[in-house]
Structures are given as structure tokens and as C-alpha cells.
Amino acid sequence: MTATTTTIPDPKKVGMVSLGCPKALVDSERILTRLRADGYTMSPDYAGADIVLVNTCGFLDSAKEESLQAIGEAIAENGRVIVTGCMGDEADAIRAAHPQVLAVTGAHQYEQVVEAVHEHAPPSQGPYIDLIPQPDLADIKLTPRHYGYLKISEGCNHSCAFCIIPSLRGKLVSRRIDAVLREAEKLVAAGTKELLVISQDTSAYGVDTRHEPREWKGREVRAHMTDLARELGQLRTDQGTPPWVRLHYVYPYPHVDQVIPLMAEGLLTPYLDIPFQHAAPSVLKRMKRPANEAKVLERLKSWREICPEIAVRSSFVVGFPGETEEDFQYLLDWLEEAQLDRVGAFRFEPVEGAAANALPDPVPEAVKEERYARIMEVTARISAAKLQAKIGRTLPVIIDEVGEPDEDGDIGATGRSQADAPEIDGNVFLRNVSASLASGDIVEVMVEDADEHDLFGVPSEKV
């Protein structure tokens, strides 16, 4: 009897293009993790992929245009494309521009996008392999090993006039506190040195579940931002040190005051990302956002008294409908007093479906550009002065990348201080580092110089 050899087919490969905010990146990680558990592998390029997923952003019209361009590129390079993400709610517009797409699903519709991949690129596991239990695969991360995003909720209960997030992602839905802490613990155990807590509204975490408590490590812990922050501060890396924990998208509700002492104690990274959006009361009212800018200034002062190292970043919209020169000057004056550490600014852009589109007195584009230039000039000056004050100090820096030796054998590296979140804030550029330095190391750095956004320094000891 002649034995026959059965060739097991190679697993199907999936490519991913992930656009938009960190929350969308977490969605991409979850989708790829599910697909890998189903036997797919990941392709780093178009050519090697059996199918390509494009996770889109639909927050602004410019982001939608970028998403359509990315879809077009994927079709041109590969031809087999499935679209998901925030712009997936506009399937007709996507198909009108790119009728070749195989399927379109909406934001965080994990089941639907996985089903679409199964339909158009069926998994190629053999009949016997399917009988073998799959190992407990680690989640796929699209960020470097040393930092990761921890999504605690989805959706938002606010109804800001310029935003369509609630219509894209729905009302607030908080994850169970024990599930969040279990994921955080697993990330740290796998080598994550920096956790970036994200959501649409981190301060509102647990409101939808009435802050339902769950058992964790033998005690009950509420689904509440302060409880979450306190528990994350108890985590330890394999070196026995607390990971850096950054809180993003923090609305300045009163209970935010309770996390500042945790920063002073070294349990949380002294960093808050707060979406102020504006300061002029009349503009905030039209934006349908709380107008408590004076109290915020008092709280900023109090936070800095408790934790002098705290860095506060925010973003602001200029040129919102009805914004007068007086409103804009009020914002500039407020920024001079607030002395925020990191600031991003955006020109108002109409978004289909946003209530702000119907507001009277639109600001001319030329005025938007002029105001944008002015706010960036003011915030750059404030940033430069704050960074200049750090020259001569020694700061902890997390390493993101280590370079190759130059012609003199000197090795440089790029990292970030505790005041700098990845991708959105500044960097610390190091010279004369050891060849043994690696991404994820946290080292003490003596700051030698600074510009408007970045610091320059050398390790305080050769590492």
C-alpha cells in the first residue's frame, strides 16, 4: 500500500492599515488578535496579504478623505479590501468612491469584520489541526512592546456641537473593572513599561454601570476612575517598579482632584490629558461644553501645589462658528495664565451630522488660519520656556529607539520624559548612550539643552 502525503495549506495572511486615534488602534489590535486565534497570520505589506483590512477614521471630513485615499491605495496595491472603523457607518459613500471593496463594517463591530474575513478569505487550517485546542495566544499589539493602550470604555454621553462620536460609537459603555485590571496586569507581565489609559471620556468611567464593584485580588473595586487609577498604581514591572500610567481624555470633573496625590506619590505618571477645547464662556456655551474656565485655573494651581511635576496637555479649537476676536483673545489670555505644558490646536472643520454646522456666523478660512498661527506661536513660546527651565535637571526617560553608532562610535537614542506621551508630545534626544541600552529601558537623563518642543541630554550614568 502506497502512503499518500497531504500538504497542509499555509495559513491565510491579513494586512492591516489602521488610521485615526489610539482608540481605533486598540480596535485593530483586537480584530487581529481574533483573526490570529482563527488561524490567520499577519502580513507586513500589501504583496503578502490574502486580504487587507482598512480601519478608517470618520471624525472630520479631512480624516474621511484620508480614509478614502487609504482604501484606494489598498485596492491598487492588493485588490482585496475590507473596510471597518468609524467611517464604516457611511458605507454608501465608501462604495461610491471604491465599489471594489469586499465588505464594509462599522466602528468596533468585531464579529462582523471577522465574519467578513472568513467569508472572503476562509481560514486554511487543515481538518486535523482544527481538532487540536488552540494555545492561549497573547494579544497582538501594534505598538512597541514597552508601551500599550488600555481602553476602559467605549462611546460618550456628551453632545458637543462639533462632535459626532456618540453617533459613530454610541453612548458610554464601560468595561468591567476586573477585566480592565486583568488586561493591565497581563500587559505589564509581558513587558509593558507604560500604560496609556484611553476612552472617549475617562473621567466618566463606570457612570453607565453605577460604578458597579467587582472582586479583584480578594477585595471589591468600583468601576470608577479613581479606583482604577489607585489599582493601576499597585502594578509592578519585573524590575519591581511601578509602570508609567498616563491618563488620557480626562474631563475635569471634581473627582479628578483625587488622582493628583497618587501622582505625587509616584503611583501614577504626573500627566493629565484634558480636552478643554476653548476657554471663552460664550464659545464653550455654543460648543455645548461646561464653561468653568476660571475654576479650572484655580484647580491647575492646586494640582501644581500638590504635584509640582504634573504636566497638563490639552487641545483647542479655533475658528468655531461665532468666535469673535474678543473670544479668541480671551483664549490666548487664558493660556498665558494656565501655562499648559503641551497644547495642540485645530481649525474648526464642519463634520457631516454635527450640530455646529447649523450655527450662524461661520469664521472665514483666512481668519481661522491667522488665529491658528497665533495660538501656535503663543503655546510654542510657553512650551519653550517650560523646557528651558528643565536644563540642568535630571529626569527619568523611557527609551523608544536606540540608534546605530556614528563615525566616532557615539550612539544616540530617542526617548520621552514623563511629560511626553508617544506620538503626540515631544521627545528627549540622548547622546553618548551605551550599546546595551534598549527600547523600554527607563534611565536618568541630565538635560543639556531644549527647543520649543524637545529636550536634549545625556544619561547621568553610562547605561
Q: Which of 388, 414, 442 is the last residue of a domain?
A: 388
294 and 413: one domain? no
Number of domains in the chain: 3
Q: Is a pLDDT exceeding 60 seen at residue 4?
A: no
Residue 139: inside a domain: no
91 and 231: one domain? no
- Give the pLDDT score at 137: 47
Which pLDDT band, with edges at 50, 70 and 90, does 54 fall under? Answer: very high
366 and 404: one domain? no
363 and 408: one domain? no
Other residues' Cβ atoms within 10 Å of the Cβ of residue 317: 22
Distances in Å between the Cα of 293 and the Cα atoms of 202, 251, 305, 320 are 20, 12, 19, 17
Residue 384: inside a domain: yes
Distance CA 312, CA 337 (A): 13
152 and 285: one domain? yes
- Give the pLDDT score at 239: 87
Helix-then-strand count for the chain, H and E: 12, 20
- Give the pLDDT score at 293: 62
Residue 152: inside a domain: yes
Are 420 and 463 within 8 A, CB to CB? Answer: no
| pLDDT tens, position by position, 169-195 | 788 999 999 999 999 999 999 899 999
Q: Is a pLDDT exceeding 70 seen at residue 291?
A: no
285 and 185: one domain? yes
| Lateral strand order in the sheet of 41-42 | 41-42, 13-18, 51-56, 81-85, 103-104
Between 291 and 330, residue with greater pLDDT = 330
| Lateral strand order in the sheet of 194-198 | 147-151, 194-198, 244-247, 271-273, 311-318, 342-347
Q: Which domain holds residue 61?
A: 13-128
118 and 160: one domain? no
Which pLDDT band, with edges at 50, 70 and 90, does 129 fall under? Answer: very low
Averaged pLDDT for residues 83-94: 88
- Give the pLDDT score at 318: 96
Q: What angle do CA 131, 113, 135 make, to 5 degrees?
A: 30
Q: Which of 363, 388, 413 is the last residue of a domain?
A: 388
- Give the pLDDT score at 462: 55
Q: The CATH number of the domain where 428 resides is what?
A: 2.40.50.140
447 and 351: one domain? no
Residue 7: inside a domain: no
Residue 142: inside a domain: no
Q: Which of 128, 162, 179 is the last residue of a domain?
A: 128
180 and 252: one domain? yes
| pLDDT tens, position by position, 226-274 | 999 999 999 999 889 999 999 999 999 999 999 999 999 999 999 999 9
Which pLDDT band, with edges at 50, 70 and 90, does 371 fall under? Answer: very high
- Give the pLDDT score at 427: 97
* Closest-CA residue to 417 (of 449, 383, 452, 443): 443
Q: Taking the alpha carbons of 286, 279, 417, 267 in that order, is the dihedral positive or negative?
A: negative
| pLDDT tens, position by position, 219-234 | 999 999 999 999 999 9
Residue 135: inside a domain: no
228 and 302: one domain? yes
- Give the pLDDT score at 25: 84
Distances in Å between the Cα of 258 and the Cα atoms of 142, 197, 262, 280 are 32, 17, 8, 27
Residue 138: inside a domain: no
Q: What are phi and psi of 52, to 5 degrees?
A: -120, 130
- Give the pLDDT score at 458: 96
Q: What is the H or E stretch that residue 151 is in?
A: strand 147-151
417 and 383: one domain? no
Are 278 and 253 within 8 A, CB to CB? Answer: no
Q: The CATH number of the domain where 213 resides is what?
A: 3.80.30.20
Averaged pLDDT for residues 345-352: 87
Mean pLDDT of the chain: 89
93 and 151: one domain? no
Bridge partners (DSSP) of residue 213 are 222
Residue 141: inside a domain: no
